[in-house]
Chains A and B, each alone.
Chain A
Amino acid sequence: DAGITQSPRHKVTETGTPVTLRCHQTENHRYMYWYRQDPGHGLRLIHYSYGVKDTDKGEVSDGYSVSRSKTEDFLLTLESATSSQTSVYFCAVGGYRVNTGELFFGEGSRLTVL
């Protein structure tokens, strides 16, 4: 257990509203990631962070922003949610063993945009 908490776990919102998902970790891992998982596409990287205030884009970053003001928290924001952003969002963390591919994933946040 890498001490990862995602909130909220479930959210239903309407098109055009802002949404923020939070990932909290208790193990002081350096790297934090946001992935989305959709049928037919698998897991796709949205954004990741390699330190406080250090973030970079993944393969599907359009429409998303992130912030990391503390080691333990990584926020994913949808400024204006669209139906195409309906998905399951997973936070992952990686520490000194990140180059071994060993990431620890949260339980996921299911977002439905109506």
Chain B
Amino acid sequence: EDQVTQSPEALRLQEGESSSLNCSYTVSGLRGLFWYRQDPGKGPEFLFTLYSAGEEKEKERLKATLTKKESFLHITAPKPEDSATYLCAVPPEGGSEKLVFGKGTKLTVNP
């Protein structure tokens, strides 16, 4: 059973058009939720860690939030350089030093 589900699978935005990506999880006793960015042909790059419901983290045009069942990655006034696949991950039950990744959301921002 998937522990991490991301939606939508793909999202196309116009430059400046704000939107949100979703990551829902089923792991009980969450020990953190993590967001990564992956550019084509590259390995994922760490963005944020969220630990508790209500927590928010920001980086440039990105803001990640966490509730008890899901996390959102809000993208405000995106630019073409924000185009990438965004991955979320959680530690599986019983293990905190390894991560289970969602399938990702491929974001395309058109100029």
- With a cutoff of 8 Å between Cβ atoms, the chain B residues found around residue A59 in the complex are 100
Quick check: B97 and A100 within 8 Å, CB to CB? no
Contact call B99/A103, Cβ cutoff below 8 A = yes
Question: Within B20-62, which residues are at the interface with A (CB < 8 Å)?
Answer: 31-34, 41-46, 49
A44: chain B residues at CB < 8 Å are 101
Whether B98 lies near A101 (C-beta < 8 A) is no
Q: Does B103 contact A (CB under 8 A)?
A: yes
A102 surroundings in chain B (CB, below 8 A) = 34, 46, 49
Q: Determine chain B's interface SS by DSSP, over half rule.
A: loop
Q: How far is the CA of A36 from the CA of B45 in the complex (A)?
A: 16
User: Interface of B with A (CB < 8 Å)?
Assistant: 31-34, 41-46, 49, 87, 89, 91, 96-104
With A101-B32, A101-B89 given, can you name 20 additional A-B contacts, CB distance below 8 Å?
A31-B97, A43-B44, A48-B97, A50-B97, A58-B98, A90-B44, A94-B97, A98-B97, A99-B32, A100-B32, A100-B34, A100-B49, A101-B33, A102-B49, A103-B99, A105-B44, A105-B45, A107-B41, A107-B43, A108-B41
Please list 13 pairs of residues, one from A and one from B, whose beta carbons are closer than 8 Å in the complex, sorted by A's number. Answer: A42-B102, A43-B87, A43-B101, A45-B100, A92-B43, A98-B96, A101-B34, A101-B91, A102-B49, A105-B44, A105-B45, A107-B42, A107-B43
